Amino acid sequence: MTVDETTRAVAPVRAAEELELKRDEFRLAVRMGLIRTVPTPVPVPAPDPRGAHRDRPPERRPVARGELDRLKAAPDFPEGLRERVRAVGAGEAAGLLSISYDRFNRLARTGHLSPVRFYLNRYRMVVWLYLAAEVTAFGEENPGLLTGRLPAGVRERDAAGEDLRARNWRSRHLSLLLRGTDDPWARAAAIASLLDPVQVAEVVDDPYERTYLDRLRPAPPPGLPVAGASHETAVRLARADDPDEILWHRMSLALALDEARAARQAPYPGERRRPLQEPEPEPGPDLEPGPDPEPAAEPADPPVAEAAGRTEAGQAAGSPARPVPRPPGGPHAGRGTPSPVRVPGSRRPGLLGRIRRALPGRATAGGRWGQGRDWS
């Protein structure tokens, strides 16, 4: 048995065997929160200088030994646990309600039942699966929808071609993703995974933040095809398509981004990890503060004076003056203290302007030094 002695956790495969669950049933039980797993953070695919991590998918995390003992101690184990995660298709669900297949599909399309997952069969047809426990509970709570003629509102919506199965599945899928993580950036990435990249770019205008969200994008639901036309169909079903739904997720993503930015900023290329605030040094116990030093005269700018001396010496020797190079750094160098930006129209001179102000002459348009020109 694969057991981690530090956390006394069991690998997912072994945990499913002990709970007498199939692989799909175990994944669904973990997603629904029926089985609690141990978070195992792993580094994001690209190096993150801030040390952020992404949790493994819940169904790939180990299960604590105490959690297995709790589940196996239930009086209805293992039938009760297996029944709570049993997923059925439309035909079997209609049999549980003792109604026709067409009637059940009409109720599902109009939003009375929410699918728990889907897959594509060999004919690339979408097969929706529902929890058997939820189907049975729906029949007990709504007996009037199982017999007789359907209400007029249901008939009108079905005649208009309304189909809420994909939207209800996305809503359930998102709630399961948000339940599986506490990281604000991972939660924002879960919301962004339901939107088209164009929609995400309109909400997240920073390209580095979009890249970070893409790194933290949750894994696709288990069982979905990864290539071919079936993959395109699955991607289409996994993204919001209704205008109201798109607007809702855009607003949710904007709010989630505010929370994520308040927690930490997305990493930028070349950024080094550093503490948010430098601790102030504390004086030792045997040191006493001395008297305040007398204010000294303000010294001249050493780089400017030294550069001016070098320029005058070079001019006397007949060599052209060379400006002092600017210190290295770009727009993202030291994000906490960005480089100053010169505002257009400002009269404040730069480093080269201060050097030239210290010289007796001024550069003309032809590149030669004029004598006796006023620099003011």
* pLDDT tens digits along 238-271: 999 999 999 999 999 999 999 999 999 998 876 5
Average pLDDT over the chain reads 76
Tokens describing residue 175: 């709630």
251 touches 197 (CB < 8 A): no
State the Cα–Cα distance between residues 54 and 213, nearest whole angstrom: 11
Dist. CA 170–CA 257, nearest whole Å: 20
Which range (114-118, 226-230, 250-254) has the least confidence?
A: 226-230
∠ CA 74-75-81, nearest 5°, is 60
pLDDT band at 276 (very low <50, low <70, confident <90, very high): very low
Which residues are CB-contacts of 256 (< 8 A; sequence separation ≥ 6)? 184, 187, 188, 191
Position 51 scores a pLDDT of 43
Give the up-direction half-sphere exposure of residue 274: CA atoms within 13 A in the CB hemisphere: 11
Beta bridge partners of 118: 128
Instruction: Kindly list the structural domains of the chain, giving each domain's residue range(s) and its CATH number in brackets, ordered by start.
Output: 7-85 (no CATH), 86-163 (1.10.10), 165-267 (no CATH)
* pLDDT confidence of residue 147: 92
What CA–CA distance (Å, rounded) separates 150 from 69? 47
Specify whether the CB–CB gap between 194 and 200 falls below 8 A: no
213 compared with 8, residue with greater pLDDT: 213
In the DSSP assignment, the letter for residue 242 is: S
Would you say residue 291 has pLDDT above 60? no
Q: pTM (2 decimals)? A: 0.66
Torsion of CA 155, 157, 162, 165, to 10 degrees: -70
Phi-psi region at 334: left, alpha or beta (left = phi > 0; alpha = psi -120 to 50)? left
pLDDT the model gives residue 298: 52
What is Dmax (Cα atoms) for the chain? 107
Interval 268-275 mean pLDDT: 57
Q: How many CA atoms lie within 13 A of 255 on its CB side?
A: 7
| Of the listed ranges 124-128, 213-217, 355-359, the one predicted with least confidence | 355-359
Q: Look at 54-68, 138-152, 252-266, 326-340 and tell me which has the smallest mean pLDDT.
A: 326-340
Give the C-alpha separation, 18 to 38, whole Å: 17
User: In this predicted structure, what is the pLDDT of residue 221?
Assistant: 78
